[in-house]
Chains A and B, each alone.
Chain A
């Protein structure tokens, strides 16, 4: 069953026409970064060529128009995640930047010695290291909730770890290694009962499935533009409105203040209070166009398409089941389009190098998730990660390549 017109979608991605090793590229590394549709590229090009100016500061037409374009992009983000108001949508430089912002803007002033920050062993380093650092600065303690043997989050264990001491819970919306989709709504409820706040690292989930921050009942959401068809260098931190007053700015400078004199500083209101310096104007505009593209295609359709690709891949993996080890839930309703695996007796980097010889781009290694790889007892894994332009035919070529690789070992 086809949820997307993938043939038409692929025409929007010129890079898919290029050859690698005399073959059309098969791009299976979307968890690292997604390809960009011509619409996003053209919008950025047009803006730079005909509309560019710095924003907010100018009284001239070009600056005012540029400001409108930037704020329009913010409004598109707001609608995309169903945030209540534009104040809640802060542009950052990416999900890593967003998470650091929460750690320093909120964590530094709200954590005391003995408080606890709860993470999971599935987290990407960008959702571990800021917390470890903040904990060392405040005397708080970082704890990790475990996964089950089939790669799902151990919800019972996680919930048992949430106590009155738990001030911040930071979890991924979707594991960048296992593909595990986390039920953040159920976690949020428990966190709030105990008086804590919850941050969701949406770097892998927001690009691939509908996100409704009101429905999820979470407090912070971080995601990156470049993983959802947008340019690099732009991301979003969504903050629940009533928490905004508890955040101190993380970055100080021009553009975030109403007035400064030698004894007093008056800051602007959110979100501008948190966007000091010239922002990534063109990045925000590009992200806005990316969101329009995804909304036209439909995030629900993207999710269903990826679920079918994942189901198909796992089925075809059975052809080499004696030689392959797959990580993460086998139930595709519990995982996104990310599959990490290993071929027995072969280093993951070597498998990736071999696959490159077939024109297939995968990611290898530990994917910035060392704790998780220690947990699954692997030095590294091969990761395929899908998006709306990937096809079943590409998976057939991938499986055929795997067969050839298995045959020679």
Chain B
């Protein structure tokens, strides 16, 4: 069964372990294992789409741009089978 995860990289949280980018790395590993898809919301001014695409490329994942609203983008990562 494929689990769906969501992360909002525009949310600023204090502390080192609660940083959403740290969580992004953990969840991308789950997607790599083939158990999950991950929806990510990001602000292109802080994290360009190309960076998110590079993460997909390096991990052998598929990335689809779902939505763009001004600088806010929503992408989905899935296993590239």
Interface residues of A (CB under 8 A from B): 21, 346-347, 349-350, 352-354, 356-358, 365-366, 380, 404-405, 408-409
Residues on B with beta carbons closer than 8 Å to the beta carbon of A408? 48, 50-51, 53-54
Nearest chain B residue, comparing its CB with the CB of A405: B54
Determine how close the nearest CB of chain A comes to the CB of B34; give it in whole angstroms.
15
Instruction: Tell me which residues from 46 to 74 in chain B have a Cβ below 8 Å from any Cβ of chain A.
Output: 46-48, 50-51, 53-55, 58-59
Contact B19 A353 (CB under 8 A): no
| A347-B21, A347-B46, A350-B21 known, 16 other contacts, Cβ within 8 Å | A21-B58, A21-B59, A346-B51, A349-B21, A349-B25, A350-B47, A353-B21, A353-B28, A354-B51, A354-B54, A356-B25, A357-B54, A357-B58, A365-B19, A408-B48, A408-B51
Determine how close the nearest CB of chain B comes to the CB of A49; give it in whole angstroms.
34
Distance, CA A350 to CA B7, complexed state (A): 14
A-facing mask of B18-40, CB < 8 A → 1, else 0? 01011011001000000000000
Residues on A with beta carbons closer than 8 Å to the beta carbon of B21? 347, 349-350, 353
Interface residues of B (CB under 8 A from A): 16, 19, 21-22, 24-25, 28, 46-48, 50-51, 53-55, 58-59
Nearest chain B residue, comparing its CB with the CB of A23: B58
Chain B facing A: main interface SS: helix
Using A350-B51, A405-B54, A409-B50 as known contacts, say yes or no to A357 and B59 having CB atoms under 8 A apart: yes
Nearest chain B residue, comparing its CB with the CB of A404: B54
Residues on B with beta carbons closer than 8 Å to the beta carbon of A409? 48, 50-51
Determine how close the nearest CB of chain A comes to the CB of B71; give it in whole angstroms.
14
Distance, CA A386 to CA B27, complexed state (A): 28
A-B contact count (CB 8 A): 47
Residues on B with beta carbons closer than 8 Å to the beta carbon of A365? 16, 19, 22
Distance, CA A408 to CA B16, complexed state (A): 25
Nearest chain B residue, comparing its CB with the CB of A22: B60
Tell me which of A346, A347, A349, A354 contacts B55 (CB under 8 A). Answer: A354
Residues on B with beta carbons closer than 8 Å to the beta carbon of A347? 21, 46-47
Determine how close the nearest CB of chain B comes to the CB of A390; give it in whole angstroms.
22
What would be 13 A-B contacts, judged by CB atoms less than 8 Å apart?
A: A346-B47, A349-B25, A352-B25, A353-B21, A354-B54, A357-B54, A357-B58, A365-B19, A366-B16, A380-B16, A405-B54, A408-B53, A409-B48
Tell me which of A21, A346, A349 contacts B19 (CB under 8 A). Answer: A349
Determine how close the nearest CB of chain B comes to the CB of A148; give it in whole angstroms.
27
Contact A353 B54 (CB under 8 A): no
Distance, CA A356 to CA B24, complexed state (A): 12
Residues on A with beta carbons closer than 8 Å to the beta carbon of B22? 349, 365
Distance, CA A356 to CA B55, complexed state (A): 9
Residues on A with beta carbons closer than 8 Å to the beta carbon of B25? 349, 352-353, 356
Determine how close the nearest CB of chain A comes to the CB of B42; give it in whole angstroms.
10
Distance, CA A83 to CA B31, complexed state (A): 52
